[in-house]
């Protein structure tokens, strides 16, 4: 029986984690749950899985959750970043699953690593913001980071086919999002609803917008650089609209190993939870004969500049990837609120990258300061309402 602490239980990834736990009650037990503001859903999850502790976004939500739960939970409801870090480091938990979205995932992940917890990582921002710091701390504490993102899970699986020193490059696949064939001019009028309509995956709002801009793939490039200790010039992105090939690894002898599968997040989640074992999830098998044509194309950098910005931030080093992430979070929120046009997301990120100061990527305080500075500068680029 593996005991789990889960951050982001009400989000898309979190709900899929719970689906796996629900399917295999003899294999997993949830010790802690943390979520944001979806109190009704969180209460249902607590009643079903009976964790020891639960955490919400802030103190104002505690009374509302408490009234929906048995009385013994009244002293077990935590809140805020302190609550997330407590959930992440519960002594009775074997593993943390970080399924939150955004910079909020960094401190709990770092706390879990220092507490000696393995991490099932779906929060790519943890490695985007502090990749060198996180990976060096994980090595020191002998902690494993097991990827849950479908692309990084695919790479993780494909790397099993050979020696790391024989890897020539890794290739991340991108669906291209809902605007793959749109012109720059048409994207000027894109609405949030249109941007949220991902063609293949059921994802949260922020990740769906990142997929539409291709920033999600840029963040994944940075994550892959640290997770797999791969030079950026050996990490490539290819657009694959069908989302059947989840990513590929090329070895120096010319062999290319790909991981294919139906687009269902339970597959990478279950693999991270049970590695190196695999579970029978009861999913409909992939039918290659019914897949039809599998297409691959180069990303359109002129229409989707966010990907190039991520490579630029990685080349700049220091705290610049944290700046990239923070500016993007601010710009995406503004787009979803109807305050800026879709192409302005990447423009704001680019401007913020140039305006922020550099800092030490191994200094947590410098990383957090850069995050804060970037949010201020990006906010100044957004029209007041």
**In this predicted model, what pLDDT tens digit does every residue of 333-376 receive, in sequence order?**
999 999 999 999 999 999 999 999 999 999 999 999 999 999 99
Q: What is the pLDDT of residue 198?
A: 73
Average of pLDDT values for 43-65?
Answer: 96
Q: Which of 223, 186, 216 is nearest to 201 (CA)?
A: 216
Question: Per the domain annotation, does 312 fall within a domain?
Answer: no
Q: Is the pLDDT of residue 96 over 70?
A: yes
Residue in this structure with the two tokens 């609803």, named with its chain if needed: 193
Q: What tokens does 339 get?
A: 């305050």
Average of pLDDT values for 108-134?
Answer: 97
Average of pLDDT values for 236-242?
Answer: 95
pLDDT in tens, 243-279: 899 999 999 999 999 999 988 999 999 999 999 999 9
Question: Per the domain annotation, does 104 fall within a domain?
Answer: yes
Q: What is the pLDDT of residue 290?
A: 84
Average of pLDDT values for 274-285?
Answer: 95
Three-state DSSP class for 325?
helix
Domain that holds residue 62: 2-147
Give pTM, 2 decimals: 0.94
Average of pLDDT values for 281-292?
Answer: 89
Question: Per the domain annotation, does 234 fall within a domain?
Answer: no
Q: What tokens does 316 get?
A: 């700049």
Question: Per the domain annotation, does 160 fall within a domain?
Answer: no
Q: What is the pLDDT of residue 186?
A: 93
Average of pLDDT values for 17-28?
Answer: 97
In the DSSP assignment, the letter for residue 302 is: T
Q: What is the pLDDT of residue 201?
A: 63
Three-state DSSP class for 253?
coil
Label the pairing between strands 53-56 and 28-34: parallel
Q: Is the pLDDT of residue 385 over 70?
A: no
pLDDT in tens, 209-218: 999 999 999 9
The answer to whether the Cα torsion of 29, 31, 36, 42 is positive or negative is: positive
Length of the chain: 385
The CA–CA distances, whole Å, from 334 to 329, 330, 341, 376 equal 9, 6, 9, 13
Question: Per the domain annotation, does 361 fall within a domain?
Answer: no
Question: Per the domain annotation, does 49 fall within a domain?
Answer: yes
Three-state DSSP class for 147?
strand
Q: What is the pLDDT of residue 202?
A: 66
Identify the band that residue 197 occupies on the pLDDT scale cut at 50, 70 and 90: confident
Q: What is the pLDDT of residue 204?
A: 78
Average of pLDDT values for 63-85?
Answer: 95
Q: How many domains does the chain have?
A: 1
Question: Per the domain annotation, does 384 fall within a domain?
Answer: no
Q: What is the CATH number of the domain that holds 32?
A: 3.40.50.720
Question: Per the domain annotation, does 314 fall within a domain?
Answer: no
């Amino acid at each position: 029986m593996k005991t789990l602490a889960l951050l982001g239980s009400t989000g898309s990834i979190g709900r899929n984690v719970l689906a796996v736990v629900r399917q295999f009650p003899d294999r997993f037990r949830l010790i802690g749950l943390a979520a944001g503001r979806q109190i009704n859903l969180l209460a249902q999850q607590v009643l079903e899985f009976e964790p020891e502790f639960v955490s919400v976004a802030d103190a104002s939500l505690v009374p509302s959750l408490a009234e929906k739960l048995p009385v013994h939970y009244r002293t077990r409801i935590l809140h805020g970043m302190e609550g997330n870090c407590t959930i992440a480091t519960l002594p009775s938990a074997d593993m943390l699953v970080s399924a939150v979205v955004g910079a909020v995932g960094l401190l709990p992940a770092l706390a879990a690593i220092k507490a000696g917890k393995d991490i099932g990582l779906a929060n790519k921002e943890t490695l985007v913001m502090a990749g060198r710091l996180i990976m060096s701390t994980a090595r020191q504490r002998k902690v494993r980071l097991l990827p849950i993102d479908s692309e990084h899970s695919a790479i993780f699986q494909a790397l099993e086919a050979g020696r790391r020193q024989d890897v020539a490059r890794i290739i991340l696949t991108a669906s291209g999002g809902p605007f793959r064939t749109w012109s720059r001019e048409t994207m000027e009028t894109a609405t949030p609803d249109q941007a949220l309509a991902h063609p293949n995956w059921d994802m949260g709002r922020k990740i769906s917008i990142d997929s539409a801009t291709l920033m999600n793939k840029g963040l994944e490039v940075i994550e892959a650089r640290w997770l797999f200790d791969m030079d950026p010039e050996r990490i490539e992105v290819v657009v694959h609209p069908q989302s059947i090939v989840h990513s590929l690894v090329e070895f120096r002898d010319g062999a290319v190993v790909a991981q294919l599968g139906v687009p269902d997040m339970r597959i990478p989640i279950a693999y991270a939870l049970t590695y190196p074992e695999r579970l029978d999830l009861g999913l409909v098998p992939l039918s290659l004969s019914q897949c039809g044509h599998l297409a691959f194309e180069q990303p359109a950098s002129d229409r989707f500049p966010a990907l190039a910005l991520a490579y630029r931030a990685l080349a700049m080093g220091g705290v610049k990837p944290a700046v990239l992430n923070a500016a993007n979070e601010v710009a995406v929120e503004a787009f979803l609120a109807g305050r800026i046009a879709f192409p302005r997301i990447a423009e704001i990120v680019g401007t913020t990258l140039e305006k922020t100061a550099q800092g030490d990527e191994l200094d947590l305080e410098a990383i957090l300061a850069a995050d804060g500075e970037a949010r201020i500068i990006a906010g100044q680029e957004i029209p007041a309402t």
